[in-house]
């Protein structure tokens, strides 16, 4: 799971240098093994393509229009799915957190929805919405909904009572208590849920495109691998990895950091 | 009369439906500018009493009034709290924390800032206004909490073991500084403490609570004028009162009648 809930603090320039060197070593070793498999290892190019071929394909992708079109489709699906999933999850969590009864009823449902493999419903979603973008959005939004809703509900329910006492003692109105104390105090935990939701959205969108679609990065990957174009498949994986990495970086930047160290 | 408690009684209901008396028969008058410390064995209901004074908790029976107005809900302009664990909001900077009560009250941004800054100056933290609570030491955080209470211009200050979470040195340093601040502002203060030294050092009057259910076992007046310097700790008056407190709190039979009710209510 890509839920980076803990922020690691590596302090000092020498430590950072060490960490970066180690990362470099890992990357070099990876390509070393790849190169070896291609040369002395005598692996088939159908299984492990030549490194140069992959990069050639990658750069020709960047020049041609096809991949941008697929990228646009995938990104639109991603953003809309995440927006729908997160907003509805937030609304449900906020509503459920208001009373003990609602929370008691809703929480197990969310856990259940979290655990169920949503891919089961994908064929039915396709029946409803067709193979276009809307089925990907619906599927990804429904998978993102549950972890986000569950974490938000937990976050709203577990606000440290001392902050609530402070709000009462210093005259916060019910509205101020809701938004400026309870909501604000629950942001770190809710953000952790949102991170999980993001990761899930990316996975589900790509998987859905691979299962059945007419466009998108996942669709391209399936198409190239099924036509035994391994170098191109690897190149598209590279594109996907870059997109996922950038998307995740963006989300991490937007979400508040884990600043609530015990004051 | 700043604060008055009449026949105050608090009973808790446990999960299995039994009722456990926490406080009983509390009658107390606190004068303007009086500094009252409340001390008692742990679990005697000191903090509960303070919450009743501030309206955070409704007593089962009896009533609390501040300046002849009945206390039914918290009002920081009437009685402002200083909590033991400071409870600054970690997402607000020091200045906004100091002004949080004014902000809740709907005061304008400028007004909040001005008053907050003034209060931070009072507690000697004006240059830390833009910093966040986690960047401050415990003693500094507690000073922010005091500034936050003072910003409400309350009739009475309710302090729940305000120095309890601090180490001894910080506690003394902060203590003597607080003494100046609290005396200068001429407010009534009720301070709950478990430290004998603190109870004597600060108080015009010490209220000793008995073990559960808490009741007023003894009231002791401290005559020395405030603010007191640390040298007060070396005086005979201090030593005598301290030893009496020690006897009351540490020798079970000294607090007449308390131990038998404790045994009955204990389990």
In this prediction, residue B2 has a pLDDT band, given cuts at 50, 70 and 90, of confident
A261/B89 Cβ within 8 A: no
Closest-CA distance of chain B to residue A160, Å: 10
Residue of A159, A167, A168, A171 to mutate, testing the B interface (most B Cβ within 10 Å of its Cβ): A171
- Alpha-carbon distance of B76 to A50, in angstroms, equals 73
Nearest to A184 among B74, B77, B91 (CB): B91
Nearest to B74 among A169, A259, A260 (CB): A169
B101 falls within a domain: no
Mean pLDDT, chain A, integer: 85
Using CB atoms within 10 Å of the CB of residue A131, give its burial: 0 to 12 exposed, 13 to 18 middle, 19+ buried: middle
Does residue A3 carry a pLDDT above 50? no
B50 falls within a domain: yes
Nearest to B56 among A168, A172, A261 (CB): A168
Those of residues 170-199 in B touching chain A at CB distance below 8 A are none
Those of residues 97-136 in B touching chain A at CB distance below 8 A are 100-101, 104-105, 132-134
- Alpha-carbon distance of A202 to A74, in angstroms, equals 9
Among A199, A252, A254, smallest CA distance to A6 is for A252
Closest-CA distance of chain A to residue B116, Å: 14
* Cβ pair A10, A207 in contact under 8 A: no
A163 to chain B: nearest residue by CA? B87
* Cβ pair A93, A152 in contact under 8 A: yes
The encoded tokens of residue B215 equal 């009741």
Least confident range from A148-157, A209-218, B79-88, B158-167: namely B158-167
pLDDT of residue B252: 64
Domain enclosing residue B159, as ranges: 35-58+71-78+154-266
* Cβ pair A257, A7 in contact under 8 A: yes
In this prediction, residue B256 has a pLDDT band, given cuts at 50, 70 and 90, of low
pLDDT of residue B260: 39
In this prediction, residue A261 has a pLDDT band, given cuts at 50, 70 and 90, of very low
* Cβ pair A135, A126 in contact under 8 A: yes
Domain with residue B227: its CATH number is 3.40.50.300
A164 phi, psi to nearest 5 deg = -65, -40
B83/A170 Cβ within 8 A: no
Contacts of A123 (CB under 8 A, 6+ apart): none
B7 falls within a domain: no
pLDDT of residue B13: 83
Please measure the distance between the N-terminal and C-terminal CA atoms of chain B and give it in whole angstroms.
38
Helix (H) / strand (E) containing A186 = helix A184-211
Query: Mean pLDDT throughout B171-175?
Result: 74
Tens digit of each residue's pLDDT (9 = 90 or more) over B61-71 = 888 888 888 88
Residues in A whose CB is inside 8 Å of some CB of B read 162-163, 165-173, 176, 180-181, 184-185, 187, 259-263
Query: Mean pLDDT throughout B52-80?
Result: 87
A163/B81 Cβ within 8 A: no
Tens digit of each residue's pLDDT (9 = 90 or more) over B196-228 = 888 888 889 999 988 878 888 889 998 888 778
pLDDT of residue A24: 93
B142 falls within a domain: no
Does residue B259 carry a pLDDT above 60? no
- Alpha-carbon distance of A124 to A174, in angstroms, equals 43
- Within chain A, strands assigned E span none
- Alpha-carbon distance of B62 to A59, in angstroms, equals 81
Least confident range from A64-68, B196-200, B249-253: namely B249-253
Taking only Cα atoms into account, the Rg of chain A, rounded to an integer number of angstroms, comes to 23
Instruction: Give me the DSSP letters along chain B.
Output: --EEEEEEEEEEE-TTS-EEEEEEEEEEEE-TT-EEEEE-STTSSHHHHHHHHHTSS--SEEEEEETTEE--S--TTTEEEE-TT----TTS-HHHHHTHHHHHTT--HHHHHHHHHHHHHHTT-GGGTTS-GGGS-HHHHHHHHHHHHHTT--SEEEEESTTTTS-HHHHHHHHHHHHHHHHHTT-EEEEE-S-HHHHHHH-SEEEEEPSSSB-EEEEEE--SPSS--GGGGGSHHHHHHHHHHHHHHHSGGGSTTHHHHHHHHH-
Q: Edge-to-edge strand order for the sheet containing B35-39?
A: B79-82, B156-160, B188-192, B35-39, B205-209, B216-221
Query: Mean pLDDT throughout A31-40?
Result: 85
- Alpha-carbon distance of B222 to B236, in angstroms, equals 12
What count of other Cβ atoms lies within 10 Å of the Cβ of residue B130? 10
In this prediction, residue B255 has a pLDDT band, given cuts at 50, 70 and 90, of low
Predicted TM-score (pTM) of the model is 0.75
Does residue A107 carry a pLDDT above 50? yes
Query: Mean pLDDT throughout A194-201?
Result: 88
Least confident range from A246-260, B128-142, B157-171: namely A246-260
Q: What domain count does chain B have?
A: 1
Tens digit of each residue's pLDDT (9 = 90 or more) over B97-149 = 999 999 999 889 998 999 999 999 888 888 999 999 988 988 889 889 999 99
Chain A residue numbers with beta carbons less than 8 Å from the beta carbon of B152 are 170
**Long-range CB contacts (within 8 A, 24+) of A178-181:** A180/B104, A181/B89
Contacts of B38 (CB under 8 A, 6+ apart): B46, B49, B50, B190, B191, B192, B193, B206, B207, B209
Helix (H) / strand (E) containing A258 = none
Least confident range from A157-166, B182-191, B245-254: namely B245-254
A250 phi, psi to nearest 5 deg = -60, -45
Does residue A2 carry a pLDDT above 50? no
Query: Mean pLDDT throughout B72-92?
Result: 89
Does residue A77 carry a pLDDT above 90? yes
pLDDT of residue B266: 35
pLDDT of residue B251: 72
B53 falls within a domain: yes
Using CB atoms within 10 Å of the CB of residue B172, give its burial: 0 to 12 exposed, 13 to 18 middle, 19+ buried: middle
Tens digit of each residue's pLDDT (9 = 90 or more) over A218-228 = 898 898 888 88
3-state secondary structure of A33: helix
B179 falls within a domain: yes
Rounded to the nearest 10°, the torsion over CA B161, B165, B167, B171 is -30
The encoded tokens of residue A7 equal 């922020």
B11 falls within a domain: no
Please measure the distance between the N-terminal and C-terminal CA atoms of chain A and give it in whole angstroms.
29
* Cβ pair A171, A181 in contact under 8 A: no
Nearest to B75 among A162, A171, A263 (CB): A171
ipTM > 0.90 for the complex: no
- Alpha-carbon distance of B198 to B58, in angstroms, equals 28
* Cβ pair B157, B189 in contact under 8 A: yes
B75/A260 Cβ within 8 A: no
B21 falls within a domain: no
In this prediction, residue A190 has a pLDDT band, given cuts at 50, 70 and 90, of confident
What count of other Cβ atoms lies within 10 Å of the Cβ of residue A43? 14
B54/A170 Cβ within 8 A: no
- Alpha-carbon distance of A181 to A167, in angstroms, equals 7
Tens digit of each residue's pLDDT (9 = 90 or more) over B5-41 = 888 888 888 888 888 888 888 888 998 888 999 998 8
């Amino acid at each position: 799971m890509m839920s980076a809930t803990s922020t690691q603090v590596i302090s000092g320039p020498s430590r950072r240098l060490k960490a970066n060197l180690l990362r470099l070593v890992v990357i070099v070793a990876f390509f070393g093994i790849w190169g070896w498999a291609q040369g002395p290892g005598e692996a088939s190019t159908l299984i492990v393509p030549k490194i140069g071929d992959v990069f050639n394909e990658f750069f020709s992708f960047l020049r041609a229009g096809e991949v941008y079109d697929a990228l646009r489709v995938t990104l639109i699906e991603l953003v809309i799915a995440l927006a729908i999933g997160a907003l509805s999850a937030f609304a449900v969590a906020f509503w459920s957190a208001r009373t003990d009864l609602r929370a008691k009823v809703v929480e197990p449902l969310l856990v259940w929805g979290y655990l169920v493999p949503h891919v089961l419903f994908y064929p039915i979603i396709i029946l409803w919405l067709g193979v276009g973008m809307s089925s990907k959005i619906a599927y990804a939004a429904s998978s993102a909904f549950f972890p986000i809703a569950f974490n938000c509900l937990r976050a709203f329910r577990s606000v440290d009572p001392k902050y609530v006492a402070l709000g009462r003692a210093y005259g916060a109105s019910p509205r101020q208590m809701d938004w400026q104390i309870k909501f604000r105090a629950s942001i770190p935990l809710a953000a952790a849920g949102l991170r999980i939701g993001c990761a899930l959205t990316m996975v589900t969108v790509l998987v859905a495109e691979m299962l059945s679609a007419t466009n998108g990065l996942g669709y391209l990957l399936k198409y190239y691998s099924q036509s035994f174009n391994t170098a191109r498949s690897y190149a598209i994986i590279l594109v996907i990895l870059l997109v996922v990495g950038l998307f995740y970086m963006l989300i991490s930047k937007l979400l508040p950091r884990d600043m609530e160290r015990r004051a | 009369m700043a604060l008055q408690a009449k026949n105050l009684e608090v009973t808790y209901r446990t999960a299995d439906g039994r009722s456990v008396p926490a406080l009983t028969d509390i009658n107390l008058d606190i004068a303007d500018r009086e500094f009252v410390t409340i001390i008692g064995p742990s679990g005697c209901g000191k903090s509960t009493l303070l919450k009743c004074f501030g309206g955070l908790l409704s007593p089962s029976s009896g009533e609390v009034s501040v300046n002849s107005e009945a206390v039914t809900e918290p009002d920081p302009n009437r009685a402002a709290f200083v909590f033991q664990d400071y409870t600054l909001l970690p997402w607000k900077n020091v200045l906004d924390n100091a002004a949080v009560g004014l902000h809740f009250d709907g005061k304008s941004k400028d007004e909040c800032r001005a008053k907050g800054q003034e209060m931070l100056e009072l507690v000697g933290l004006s240059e830390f206004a833009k910093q966040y609570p986690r960047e401050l030491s415990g003693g500094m955080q507690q000073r922010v909490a005091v500034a936050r209470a003072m910003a409400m211009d309350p009739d009475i200050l309710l302090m729940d073991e305000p120095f309890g979470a601090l180490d001894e040195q910080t506690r003394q340093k902060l203590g003597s500084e607080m003494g100046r601040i609290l005396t200068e502002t001429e407010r009534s203060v009720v301070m709950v403490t478990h430290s004998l030294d603190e109870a004597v050092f600060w108080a015009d009057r010490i209220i000793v609570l008995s073990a559960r259910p808490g009741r007023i076992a003894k009231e002791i007046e401290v005559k020395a004028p405030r603010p007191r310097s640390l040298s007060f700790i070396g005086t005979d008056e201090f030593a005598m009162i301290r030893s009496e407190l020690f006897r009351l709190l540490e020798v079970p039979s000294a607090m007449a009648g308390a131990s038998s009710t404790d045994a009955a209510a204990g389990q």
